[in-house]
Amino acid sequence: MNNMDLEQLNRQNFKSLSDALAMPGKITKIKSVFDSHLLAVANLLFFNEVTYYYSGDEDITLIEAITNPKITTIQEADYILSDVIDTRLILEAKKGDYLNPDFSATLIFKCEDFNSYSHLLSGPGIDGKKEVNLPCNKKFIDVLMKKNSDYPLGVEIFFINSIGELIALSRTTKVEVR
């Protein structure tokens, strides 16, 4: 692990994650852990009191051993990580209740790049409207918009591309497909 300071990486990566969520559509950078950007995010978010579900091929065992979260089902998970963009995960993720809308899932999707489709974003964190490229199609956006239609209930989505760039959609973000 040649002197890798995981806590220091977490500090830096947290800034990227919170900036991305506070300003949906803004691209920030994640520094990798064990050569993986997804594992870096897992290492940042996982701890004793949270649950997760992972669908993918990366070796998450070491991060799990270090951070000690609980593995659970898609329906129960605080964090849902996936190597591919899958609307089923959004459909099944928990979205909180009116008393505790924060008891809801955050989804983290890996993708190759963001250059698939152009979308128009608006909502908190966005100065008016903002055009961004996202790796998801109209069907995905329809599912997400439906999931997040009962605000304050909903989910947050992060996309990480192959070069460690991060982009987020908050539950308050309105997305129009261009």
Partner 1 sequence: MRYGFLDEDAKKEIRRATLKAIAIPGYQVSFASRELPIARGWGTGGLQVTLAIINEEDCLKVIDQGCDGSVNAVNIRNFIVSVTDNQTTLDTVCADIIQSRHRIPEEPMREGQTLVLQVPYPEVLTNVEADSYKQKVMHANSDYAKLWVLLYEDTAQFGDSRIGHRYPVMVHDRYAMDPSPIPKYDTKKLNNNKALILLGAGREKKIYAIPPYTKVEPLKFEDREFKVESFANKKCARCGASGVFMDEVHTNEGEVKFYCNDTAYCDKQLEKGAR
Partner 2 sequence: MGFVAIKGGEEAIKNSLAFYEEEINLNQKIDAFAIENSLRYGVDKVISEGSLYSKKLSAQAILKAGGDLLNASFFLRAHRSSCARAGIAKTIHTDEMRVVRRISSAFKDIKGGQILGPSGDYEVKLILTKTIDKTVWDDYKNDDIFVESALKPLRDANMIKTLPKDEHISDITRVFPSAPYPRSAVMQIMARGESGSMLAFAYTSMRGYGDVHPTIGDLRLGRSEVKFTHPFTKNEVKIGEIDITACEAAATFEKQSDGSTKLTTGFGCCFGFNETKAISMSILDTTLYNKSHTIGQGGIADNFEMIVHHIDGIESQGFTNHYKLPHYVTFQADLQVYENAKKYLSIGEKK
Q: Which residue lies nearer to partner 2 by CB, 1 or 99?
A: 99
To partner 2, the closest distance from the beta carbon of 49 in angstroms equals: 6
Q: Tell me if 48 contacts partner 2 by CB under 8 A.
A: yes
Asked whether the bond before 152 is cis by omega within 30 degrees of 0, the reply is yes
Q: Tell me if 100 contacts partner 2 by CB under 8 A.
A: yes
Q: Tell me if 5 contacts partner 2 by CB under 8 A.
A: no
Please give the helix or strand (H or E) that residue 88 lies within, else none. helix 87-92
Interface with partner 1 by CB under 8 A: which residues? 7-8, 10-12, 14-15, 17-19, 21-23, 44-50, 78, 97-99, 101-102, 104, 106, 124-128, 151-152, 154, 156, 170-172
To partner 2, the closest distance from the beta carbon of 166 in angstroms equals: 27
Beta strands in 18-125 (DSSP E): 28-29, 51-55, 70-71, 79-82, 106-110, 117-122
Q: Which of 168, 167, 166, 169 is nearest to 37 (CA)?
A: 166
Crossing angle between the packed helical segments 37-45 and 6-22, to the nearest 10 degrees: 90
Residue 175 burial class via C-beta count within 10 angstroms: exposed 0-12, middle 13-18, buried 19 and up: buried
Joined together, the tokens standing for residue 139 give: 């069907």
Contact set for partner 2, span 135-154 (CB under 8 A): none
Site string (53-72) toward partner 2, x via CB under 8 A: --------------------
Q: Residue 33 binds which one of partner 2, partner 1, none, with CB within 5 to 8 A depending on kind? A: none
- Binding residues (CB under 8 A) for partner 2: these are 48-49, 99-100
